[in-house]
A and B are shown apart, each in its own frame.
Chain A
Amino acid sequence: MTKTITIDGKTIPFEEGQTIMEAAAAAGVYIPHLCHHPEYAPHGSCKLCSVTVNGRSCTACTFPALEGQEILNDTKELNDSRRRITQMLFVEGNHLCPGCEKSGNCQLQAVGYYLNMLDNHFLHFFQPRELDASHPDVLVDRNRCIFCTLCVRASHRDGKDVFAISGRGINKRLIFNSESGLLKDTDLDVNDQAAHICPTGAILIKRTGFTVPIGERLFDDKTIAETSLDYERGDHDG
């Protein structure tokens, strides 16, 4: 007999060893997420995928699916807290979308759209963060980093360990593995998966920014719920 869970009352089959996120994705149920990527081990840091499992709050990307779980996902309460979390990410970084190449193809923005986020609610940190444009093909703007560690995980898989997160709290920052600390002195190649995985505009491929005009980009007419799996499997550089 297939094992099942229910998400918002809908019965969903799962295989032993799958997380709730994986079972949901396989059944076409979207659970908002930012630090999760189907190809990489879960990190559980953004908390956006928080769902209620048998009355308790859990992150769907890390929590195993178990027989008989009753899960709440698309509820007003959960989406309200997800909106607050997303607003926190916006005020902690410096997200000036009108000047960002990734706008329209950005997962953070798309989650904001999906959650009907109209403003940033909190006080802005306005913390200055350094940009590194030293690499010939790749630009890193730390102002837009949300510390999802996807580049860290991808670069580890690329066998290069170019990226790491250093420090804590407000002093946490994305660093590069080179003596000078500059991106140009790392092993990063423009074809590395790590250069393409960033869900925001923090890692950009140079000279590709406006190949698709603003207004015709992925999330300009499709919601992230409709495209999340394609987005994560495809090359989404903006």
Chain B
Amino acid sequence: MTDKVKVATVSLAGCFGCHMSLLDIDERIVQLAGRVEFIRSPLTDIKRCTDCDIGLIEGGVCNSENVHTLREFRKHCRILVAVGACAINGGLPNYRNYVPLEECLGESYLDGIGVENPHIPNDPELPLLLDKVYPVHEVVKIDYFLPGCPPAADVFWKFLTDSLEGRDPSLPYELIHYD
């Protein structure tokens, strides 16, 4: 057993930019590693989320698997944090929200330039696409939001150090960006 604070992270419909930005805290990660244990995260190889203190969610919700993962996170995380523009409003994947799903699939798999063997992938292993890309707060309750595309490393640092030291997390003006 460990008394370290347990942190889980996941990328739904995101590009891993937010995770990269977290790693941009550079050598401060050593300090963080002393206080935090990363459980389910792309930084580890643990597939399922167990009970933890803080869950960081990157990316919006674009398919049935995202919904499942997000709900699982909600169940297991004491504090659930939406990280980055995609989690907060769908971000760039949200650009597909203005095109009917059928047209999106048609353009990608049937009519697009250079498409060979046109067919819409239908393997049962593939998660079903949702009609739109949804922000995470529209699916589960979220406790805190870190805006930005991606949020700067200092945003993660401020949030995590505030939380670890038992302060209410807050972002100063210069760390609030929507881009």
Number of A-B pairs whose CB atoms are under 8 Å? 71
CB–CB B173/A223 < 8 A: yes
CB–CB B149/A98 < 8 A: yes
Q: Once the chains are docked, how many angstroms separate the CA of A214 from the CA of B146?
A: 19
Q: Once the chains are docked, how many angstroms separate the CA of A220 from the CA of B176?
A: 9
Answer whether residue A112 sits at the interface, using C-beta atoms and an 8 A cutoff: yes
Answer whether residue A126 sits at the interface, using C-beta atoms and an 8 A cutoff: yes
CB–CB A119/B82 < 8 A: yes
Given A118-B145, A119-B145: A96 and B85 interface contact (C-beta under 8 Å): yes
Instruction: Name the segment of B1-9, B31-39, B94-102, B114-122 touching the other chain.
Output: B94-102
Interchain nearest-CB distance for B140 vs A (Å)? 13
CB–CB A119/B88 < 8 A: yes
**Which positions 118-138 of chain A face chain B at CB distance < 8 Å?**
118-121, 123-124, 126, 128
Task: Tell me which residues across on chain A come within 8 A of B11, comparing CB atoms.
Answer: none
Contact with A along B145-176 (1 / 0, CB 8 A): 11101000000000000000000000101101
Task: Tell me which residues across on chain A come within 8 A of B78, comparing CB atoms.
Answer: none
Answer whether residue A99 sits at the interface, using C-beta atoms and an 8 A cutoff: yes
Task: Tell me which residues across on chain A come within 8 A of B179, comparing CB atoms.
Answer: 97-98, 100, 103-104, 214
Task: Tell me which residues across on chain A come within 8 A of B14, comparing CB atoms.
Answer: none
CB–CB A97/B176 < 8 A: no
Task: Tell me which residues across on chain A come within 8 A of B174, comparing CB atoms.
Answer: 221
Q: Once the chains are docked, how many angstroms separate the CA of A98 from the CA of B92?
A: 8
CB–CB A98/B95 < 8 A: no
Contact of A90 among B89, B92, B177 (CB under 8 A): B89
Task: Tell me which residues across on chain A come within 8 A of B90, comparing CB atoms.
Answer: 96, 124
Task: Tell me which residues across on chain B come within 8 A of A98, comparing CB atoms.
Answer: 85, 91-92, 149, 178-179
Contact of B178 among A94, A103, A124, A223 (CB under 8 A): A103
Given A95-B89, A98-B178, A99-B92: A126 and B145 interface contact (C-beta under 8 Å): no
CB–CB B85/A116 < 8 A: no
Answer whether residue A113 sits at the interface, using C-beta atoms and an 8 A cutoff: yes
Answer whether residue B132 sits at the interface, using C-beta atoms and an 8 A cutoff: yes
CB–CB B92/A118 < 8 A: no
Interchain nearest-CB distance for B150 vs A (Å)? 9
Answer whether residue A59 sits at the interface, using C-beta atoms and an 8 A cutoff: no
* Chain B residue at smallest Cβ distance from A222: B173
Contact of B176 among A95, A99, A100, A113 (CB under 8 A): A113
Contact of B95 among A90, A97, A99, A117 (CB under 8 A): A99
Answer whether residue B105 sits at the interface, using C-beta atoms and an 8 A cutoff: no
Answer whether residue A79 sits at the interface, using C-beta atoms and an 8 A cutoff: no
* Chain B residue at smallest Cβ distance from A123: B138
Q: Once the chains are docked, how many angstroms separate the CA of A99 from the CA of B147?
A: 14
* Chain B residue at smallest Cβ distance from A126: B97
Which of B134, B174, B178 has the most chain A CB within a 10 Å cutoff? B178
Task: Tell me which residues across on chain A come within 8 A of B178, comparing CB atoms.
Answer: 95, 97-98, 103, 109, 112
22 contacts between A and B (CB under 8 A): A95-B89, A95-B178, A96-B89, A96-B95, A98-B92, A99-B92, A100-B179, A103-B178, A104-B179, A112-B178, A118-B171, A119-B88, A120-B88, A121-B137, A123-B138, A124-B134, A124-B135, A126-B97, A126-B98, A126-B132, A128-B98, A221-B174
Q: Which are the 9 A-B pairs with shortest beta-carbon distances?
A: A98-B149, A97-B178, A119-B145, A118-B145, A128-B98, A103-B179, A126-B97, A97-B179, A98-B179
Interface residues of A (CB under 8 A from B): 90, 94-100, 103-104, 109, 112-114, 116-121, 123-124, 126, 128, 214, 220-221, 223
Interface residues of B (CB under 8 A from A): 82, 85, 88-92, 94-95, 97-98, 132, 134-135, 137-138, 142, 144-147, 149, 171, 173-174, 176-179
